[in-house]
Amino acid sequence: MARWNVCSYCGKEFEPGTGKMYVRNDGRVYFFCSRKCEKYFFMGRNPRKLKWTKAFEEAKLQRAKRK
């Protein structure tokens, strides 16, 4: 059985054979589940500021623990 990929931007798991894989010149590999994630990544948007990403949820929990 093939391994599921995890989106490098939003953290969502997606099936093998879907999405995109981007490899930088330094050899670092990024997986994207959608064009939306890919576009936001290249525009330099911070995933912690977007409510639909897993990074936002994790940052929200961190803030709640501090208070």
pLDDT tens-place string over residues 44-56: 999 999 999 999 9
What is the CATH classification number for the domain harbouring 47? 2.30.170.20
Task: Please give the tally of structural domains in the chain.
Answer: 1
Q: List pLDDT tens digits, range 7-21.
A: 999 999 999 999 999
7 annotated among ligand-binding-site residues: yes
Task: Please tell me the pTM assigned to this model.
Answer: 0.85
DSSP, residue by residue, 6-66: E-TTT--EE-TTSSEEEE-TTS-EEEESSHHHHHHHHHT--GGG-TTSHHHHHHHHHHHHH
Domain that holds residue 9: 3-64
- The answer to whether 52 is annotated as binding is no
DSSP state of 1: -
Question: Is 5 known as a binding-site position?
Answer: no
Q: Is the Cα torsion angle 30, 35, 40, 43 positive or negative in sign?
A: positive
